Amino acid sequence: MRLTQTQLEQFDRDGYLLFPSLFTPEEMKKLADEVPRLYAMRRPENVREKGSDSVRTNFAAHMYSAPYARLARHPRMVEPVKQVFDEDVYMHQFKINGKMAFDGDVWQWHQDYGTWLNDDQMPEARAMNIAIFLDEVTEFNGPLMFIPGSHKLGVLEAGHDVSTTSYPLWTIDNDTIRKLVERGGLVAPKGPAGTMIMFHGCLVHASGSNLSPWNRVSVYLSLCAVSNHIRRFKRPGYIAHRDFTPIACLPDDCLLQDYPVDLPWKDGTPEEELKSMLKAA
C-alpha cells in the first residue's frame, strides 16, 4: 500500500491519517478471536489496570501469537511508514491496548516520541505508530484524541507521571495542552473495526476513560527507521525491542492465510528480555 501525494501532504500538515475500514471483518475476526486468550495469560507482557484485573496493555504478542506475528508483517501497516521514512523499519514496540468496558482508564496527554527519547534514547522522531481498531470506536468508549499539527512543534516539555495509572508515561501539563488546542483544535478519529490510523511520533494525543459497556481494543505497531534505532536499553526488551532487523512483509492476504511465522517466545519470555540494561548499546 502506497500513500498518494495528497495523503503525504495531509500527514505532513495534520500529523495523522485515518483509513476507515481498511481491513475486512474476516481479517478482524482472526485478530479479535485471539485477544481473550492473550489477555488471560499471566505473562509479564500483560500490564493490568490500576486496581483491576482488566488488561491495559499487552506487549509483544507478535513474538508468541501467530495471528499477531502475521499482522506485524502486514504490508498495509508497514509499507506506508517505509515510504515516509524512505528506509526499512524495525518493530520498536508492539501493543494491544485494551480499553475495556467500564474499566478502561485514561491515557494522559503525551507524545510517544517523548517517551522513546527519554527512556530509550531514540535519536530522532523517525518512528511512528500505526493503529488498527479491533472494535468499533465511538465517542462513548474512550477514543483517541489528537491535536492536529502539534507534531510540528517537536519534543515538548514533559513530566514523568508514575502515579496516575498503572503505566508510567511522560506527560504534558494542562496549560500547554490548552494552548495547543487553541492553536490546532481537537479531533477524535472514530470508525468501525478494521479502521487504521497512522500518526506521527510527536503528535500530542490522549484518551479518556471508557465508562461505556463497549470494549475499545486497538493494536499499535510502533515502527522505527532502522538507522534510528534506540541507544539505551533501560526498559525490558518486551516493551522496547532490542532487535533492529528490518521487517520483511508477508503477502497482503496474510491475515487470512496461515503463512509460517517464527514464535520465539511461545514458551515464555526469555530471561534477558525481562531485564533492564542501563548501559548504552
Give the domain CATH number at 146: 2.60.120.620
pLDDT tens digits, one per residue of 165-176: 767 788 999 999
Full-prediction pTM beyond 0.85?
A: yes
Please count the structural domains in the chain. 1
Single out the residue of 14, 99, 85, 89 nearest to residue 55, CA to CA. Answer: 99
Residue 91 has pLDDT above 80, yes or no: yes
End-to-end CA, the chain: 33
Q: Residue 277 has what pLDDT?
A: 65
Mean pLDDT of 2-17: 98
What pLDDT score does 169 carry?
Answer: 83
Range of the domain at 225: 5-280
Order of strands across the sheet with 46-48?
16-19, 196-200, 127-133, 216-225, 89-99, 55-59, 46-48
**Where residue 281 falls among pLDDT bands split at 50, 70, 90?**
very low
Return the amino acid letter for 193: A
Predicted confidence at residue 166, as pLDDT, reads 63
Record the cell numbers describing residue 37, joined without a space. Answer: 486468550
Query: Residue 201 gets which letter from DSSP?
Result: T
278 pLDDT more than 70: no
Determine the number of helices (DSSP H) and then strands (DSSP E) in the chain: 8, 14
Residue in the structure block whose three cell numbers are 521514512: 85
- The average confidence (pLDDT) of the chain is 94
Concatenating the DSSP letter of every residue in 245-268 gives: PPP-PPPTTTTTS------TTTT-
